[in-house]
Amino acid sequence: MSISTLPMQQINNFFETYATALERYDTKGMAYLYNIPCTMVSDDTTTMFNDAGKLEGFFNMGAGFYRQFGIAKVRPEIWNRRNWTDKIVNVKVNWQYYDNLDKPIYNCDYHYVLKLDKNNHWRIVLSVSVNEKERMEEWKVKAKGTFLDTITGQQRT
């Protein structure tokens, strides 16, 4: 493997590890992938975490949502990667969420700023949710309609 492909492979492996932690509801594993302190940003909120335990607690809430709505498989698709420095990279990821039958549930986009730590491991320092809230809301409305159609025997066109 050439030196130029090694960093991209490391980034791919990083997000595959993140996906596995999501699938296993491994909130400690998810928190391990973040630098402390780290920041999470969306249109509505900005949250800074200075404590790994509080970050893990935040992920516990998300894991409850995943369980409740049957998210069983998670696939990251890296759309773009830009090196800002030798140790800082910006990555755009489309997360794809599936049920246990591999049926798509929803997908959403994130931008991440990752930084190599003192042990040369990538850690997330900034996570920006581009459209997850909107995509989840769209999916929940669609899922509710599908459920109502099932119980009433109607078909939507």
CATH of the domain at 113: 3.10.450.50
The single-letter DSSP state of residue 130 is S
Name residue 123's beta-bridge partners: 115
Residue 86 located in a structural domain: yes
8 A C-beta contact, residue 31 and residue 51 = no
Length of the chain: 157
User: Given this model, what pLDDT does residue 6 score?
Assistant: 54
Q: Which residues of the chain have pLDDT under 70?
A: 1-7, 144-157
- CB atoms near residue 18 (< 10 Å): 22
Q: How many domains does the chain have?
A: 1
Residue 136 located in a structural domain: no
User: Given this model, what pLDDT does residue 146 score?
Assistant: 53
Q: What is the CA radius of gyration of the chain?
A: 17
User: Given this model, what pLDDT does residue 155 score?
Assistant: 52
User: Given this model, what pLDDT does residue 140 score?
Assistant: 80
Give Cα 149 to chain centroid, integer Å.
30
Residue 147 located in a structural domain: no
Residue 107 located in a structural domain: yes
Q: Look up the domain containing 96 and give its range.
A: 6-131
CA distance 120 to 5: 16
8 A C-beta contact, residue 99 and residue 71 = yes
